[in-house]
Amino acid sequence: MRMTNKIMQNNSLYNINNNKELQDKLSTQMSTKKKISRPSDDPVIAIRALRLRSDVSQITQYYSKNAKDAESWLKVTGDALETTAEILKSMAGLCTQGAVKVFDASNVAIVVEQLKELKEEFYSTGNVDYAGRYMFTGYRTDTSLTFTENLPENPADPAYRNYSITEQLDASAVDKINYTNIGSLKGVTKDTYDPTTGAAEKEADIKNDDIYRIRLSYDNIKADGTNKPTITQISKTDKENSIKNGTAPTETTLIAPGDIEVISSAVETDATATPPTLSAQDYVLANPGKAVLIPETGELLIGADLYKNRFQTMDSDTEIRINYQKDSWKKGDMRPQHYFACDDITDPANPIKYNQAEDKTTNQKYIPCERINQYMEYDVGYNQRIRVNTNAHEVFTLDMDRNIDDMEAMLADLKEIEDIKTDLENMLKGMDEGAPGYDNLKTSYDAAEKAHAYIRENAQKMFEGLITKVQKISDYTSLAITDNGTRANRLDLISNRLMTQKSTFETLQSANEDIDVTEVTVQLTSMNYSYQSALLATGKILQNSLMNYI
């Protein structure tokens, strides 16, 4: 092939241009610190880069965001649970003090007042929040655990709330309370009792009995002669079938409405009334086949015969359901939707249902036999989720509130009988033996002493029982602390692994995309020398043409 000057020029320009393109590529790499600037530069590197970037992005989300948020949630929850444990420890110490027999009503009052304060702090801890989200309320992170203000009881007020609550219990919910009937000593003071004309209360008339009781989770419920709670039961077999099939269980009546009397706590036994009236306690003792509901205290008293026939032989797996309404809510009351299957029936035409399942056959809402737990979980790794929340019912049981209510009622009875005894004792000191009325006064005083012994003995037993109840809640709290700590430890392990994975993938990403600066610098310098040499050689070669030989 004949080589002409034109061919030499074109070849030189082509080679110089290729040299310049490579120099530009190396210069771009030095500027961006990346091996490629577009997918077409190297498709293999581009595809691998997309995959590695996706992996790094996911791990960064898990490690820097999800895991950190979960860690904070668990930390705040753990601190709240530790505070709760300290509160319960203090309550147990106070109960031990209150169990001392030598304590009089004034000393007991101090202990009960301190218990009330600790109880308030106990439930206030349940309202702790993290970044505006309540920690112990399951999915309802925008709803506090307790009512933060008193709600109006007027249905016309927009803030009024009426709930239909169903408590799901078992035979262990039936306990025994001690009741002392002080008879005509009720209301006796030094100003009202005249021993010369008044009747003497005899020791034999002082009655002390145990009464079976189911204590509802709330007091001040809605109930009267026509509006009574419904009390049903679900057998073990029906319960198991409901859970297995996802269908509504079969409920049968446990206590018929006709066997339930609604008696206010304000009603006291008055044999002189026409007709004679009986307090709730005296009524159930006189009618062992009946049950009595006290709306103000939320107590269902069960007659001895009714207990024997319906509850004594009840299977421990049998579920007892008590449905009632409540529309009186004060600050500090626990919101029922965090604990029970319930309906907000403030607007009866549009009830709001909580904690209810859907029947697979009828598609209707029903109350399940198993609690619906609301567990909040975070994605903290590939196919790894970790639960971060503790539900209210696991620690902040409503028992604590009701236990303190019992203590307050006990204190009122103790204070009343101590005042009666003190007044009678002072009157007795002011009379000579054999004086008119002395025998009556002495008889009443002995009866008051007997009543006081019964009530003080019951107070001691209540404090001892409260120690056990507080310990039970402490056990729940300890279990919750352990579970929370276990999840936190697991999260630490996951975070450490994520940190290692993040470092590994970032190294792989860098190896795939980033240049070796030293190597590229050497190449760029070499290409610069080559380019300068090519220019020099081409300049010398192209100086001559065919005209130089003519």
- Write down the pLDDT at residue 46: 78
Lowest average pLDDT, out of 163-167, 193-197, 461-465, 487-491, goes to 193-197
The pLDDT-based confidence of 543 (bands split at 50, 70, 90) is low
CA 535 vs. chain centroid, Å, equals: 81
Q: What is the pLDDT of residues 274-285, one digit of tens each?
A: 778 899 999 999
Contacts of 332 (CB under 8 A, 6+ apart): 120, 123, 146, 147
DSSP for 368-437? Answer: -SS------EEEEETTEEEE----GGGT--THHHHHHHHHHHHHHHHHHHHHHHHHHHHHHHTS-TTSTT
The region of weakest confidence among 242-246, 385-389, 461-465, 534-538 is 534-538
pLDDT tens column, 164-219: 999 999 999 999 999 999 888 888 888 888 888 766 788 888 899 999 999 999 99
3-state DSSP call for residue 108? helix
pLDDT digits (tens, 9 = 90+) for 114-157: 999 999 999 999 999 988 899 999 999 999 999 999 999 999 99
Helix (H) or strand (E) holding 165: strand 163-169
550 pLDDT more than 70: no
Give me the mean pLDDT over the 23-51 stretch. 76
Residue 342, φ and ψ in degrees, nearest 5: -150, 165
Secondary structure (3-state) at 88: helix
pLDDT the model gives residue 100: 78
Contact criterion met (CB below 8 Å) for 213 and 175: yes
Residue 549 pLDDT grade (very low, low, confident, very high; cuts 50, 70, 90):
low
377: tokens are 């979980």
> Which of 316-325, 399-408, 463-472, 523-532 has the least mean pLDDT?
523-532
Contacts of 359 (CB under 8 A, 6+ apart): 246, 247, 248, 365, 366
Rounded-to-integer distance, Cα 155 and Cα 346, Å: 8
On the question of pLDDT at 532 being above 90, the answer is no
Predicted local distance difference test score (pLDDT) of residue 405? 93
Residue-level pLDDT at 3: 67
Question: Is it the case that residue 105 has pLDDT exceeding 70?
Answer: yes
Position 297 pLDDT exceeds 60: yes
Over the stretch 412-444, which tens digit does the pLDDT of each residue have?
999 999 999 999 989 888 888 878 888 888 998
pLDDT greater than 70 at residue 548:
no
User: Between residues 145 and 7, which one has the greater pLDDT?
Assistant: 145
The two tokens of residue 161 are 């709330």
8 Å CB contact between 287 and 279: no
415 to each of 141, 153, 253, 411, 420, how far by Cα in Å?
Answer: 43, 32, 40, 6, 9
Whether residue 396 contacts residue 122, with contact meaning beta carbons closer than 8 Å, is answered with: yes
Among residues 288, 289, 292, 297, the alpha carbon closest in space to that of 279 is found at 292
Q: Percentage of the chain surpassing pLDDT 70?
A: 96
The better pLDDT of the pair 47, 513 is held by 47
Residue 186: predicted pLDDT: 85
| C-beta separation of 66 from 72 below 8 A | no
At 437 the pLDDT is: 85
* Both structure tokens of 296: 């103000």
* Type of residue found at 256: A
**Distance from C-alpha of 241 to C-alpha of 238, rounded to nearest angstrom:** 5
The residues with which 301 forms a beta bridge, in sequence order, are: 213, 292
Distances, alpha carbon 290 to alpha carbons 257, 261, 318, in Å: 10, 8, 21
pLDDT for residue 538: 75
pLDDT, the chain, mean: 88
Q: To 5 degrees, how large is the angle CA 312–CA 313–CA 319?
A: 90
Half-sphere exposure at residue 78, Cβ-oriented, CA atoms within 13 angstroms: 15
Q: Which helix (H) or strand (E) holds 492?
A: helix 438-513
> 49 vs 417, which has greater pLDDT?
417
CATH of 41-139+374-424+456-514, one of 3.90.1150.10, 1.20.1330.10, 1.20.58.760, 3.40.50.720: 1.20.1330.10
Task: Name residue, tokens 């999840």.
Answer: 487
The model carries a pTM of 0.84
In the chain, CATH 1.20.1330.10 covers 41-139+374-424+456-514
Low-confidence winner among 113-127, 251-265, 502-516 (lowest mean pLDDT): 502-516
Looking only at the bridges linking them, the beta strands covering 365-366 and 357-358 are: antiparallel
* Dist. CA 265–CA 279, nearest whole Å: 7
d(CA 375, CA 367): 19
Q: What SS3 state is found at 321?
A: strand
Confidence of residue 102 (pLDDT cuts 50, 70, 90): low
From the centroid of its chain, how far is CA 12? Answer: 82
Q: Which residues pair with 262 in a beta bridge?
A: 293
**What was the pLDDT predicted at 165?**
97
Choice among 12-21, 295-304, 405-414 with the minimum mean pLDDT: 12-21
Interatomic CA distance for residues 170 and 343, integer angstroms: 22
CA distances from 181 to 186, 387, 508 (A): 9, 52, 83
Widest pairwise Cα distance in the chain: 169
DSSP secondary-structure letter at 547? G
Place of tokens 């996911």: 58
